Amino acid sequence: MSSAAAAAATSFAAKVAATPAPAPAPSRRCLPLRWNPSARRGVAAMAVSTPRSAAAAAAFLERRESERALHFVKYQGLGNDFIMVDNRDSAVPKVTPEEAAKLCDRNFGVGADGVIFVMPGVNGADYTMRIFNSDGSEPEMCGNGVRCFARFIAELENLQGTHSFKIHTGAGLIIPEIQNDGKVKVDMGQPILSGPDIPTKLPSTKNEAVVQADLAVDGSTWQVTCVSMGNPHCVTFGTKELKVLHVDDLKLSDIGPKFEHHEMFPARTNTEFVEVLSRSHLKMRVWERGAGATLACGTGACAVVVAAVLEGRAERKCVVDLPGGPLEIQWREDDNHIYMTGPAEAVFYGSAVH
């Protein structure tokens, strides 16, 4: 909650406490009703109650605020949106996976692709990042999420200008750097190409890597390349029958789950469908494990460039267009690390009952 909002809430509570409760009119009273489930007659039995005092009501509001309200900031990176929670005082997330799923619901909650917690660092890292997906599952890492994470840290710590952080994640150490233009450049580390480590049950086709392997899905044979960026990705540029894939024509909600839950991926998988615009310009749509169709996936964009290079379709530095906007991805030869650059922005501040 912002300082202005907090001040307004405090002022409201003070006014409530200071204002005497009005005396009810003798002839008509508007009272809350309570249903009595033990009533045996057809007419509802009712009991009435009134607040003992305005001060008691104010105290209740304050207690509800402290015990049940989750303060958060909503961030988005190319439309991939997250509920960011300051969890620096504890190594235990402030909400459970089930509560996170409810918060992510776009009709009955705040609405988001995931809930991200800024937690104390371990093993020499400055901070620890944990995330619960919109279905309550916990992925190893999230590329768009880590950019939002970096910007959120800068806000929490009141940092200006360029800064970098060491972030402990389930995928290992990730180092984002806030740049002068406000974008965040992230050292995503080295891609994992060994099939069992991704993991996938598909046999290797190129050294230890799974490159352009055949995968039967929904009556078609797709050619896929598997990459892990600390989380599993299945990248496809099309089927054997359809050499050029037009990603806008895909019914992602139909085909995406069939890839995610395919028996060849024991930990499920994220899936990227890719259209090659040029050797330095790719277009993708993504079905994320645990979140479904999203507007962007940072680790997915990294995996796409790795797959395009391995298949000889693109150079090592590309712009990747996602539904939410472009990311700049570079797979460097000198250190084998992948670098992702893109935006992250605060959307609004709020509190949610959980």
Positions marked active-site:
142, 297
311: which residues sit within 8 A by CB, 6+ positions away?
211, 212, 225, 237
Contact 284, 301 (CB under 8 A): yes
Contact 5, 349 (CB under 8 A): yes
Would strands 220-228 and 270-278 be described as parallel, antiparallel, or unpaired? unpaired
40: which residues sit within 8 A by CB, 6+ positions away?
none
Contact 228, 197 (CB under 8 A): yes
| CA dihedral (203, 290, 172, 76) positive or negative | positive
CA distance 140 to 17: 47
Answer whether the bond into residue 199 is a cis peptide, omega within 30°.
Answer: yes
DSSP characters over 103-122: HH-TTTSS--SEEEEEEE--
CA distance 88 to 287: 31
Residues written for the chain: 354
How many other C-beta atoms are found inside a 10 Å radius of the C-beta of residue 172?
A: 14
Contact 172, 241 (CB under 8 A): no
Please provide residue 206's backbone torsions phi and psi, each rounded to the nearest 5 degrees.
-145, 105
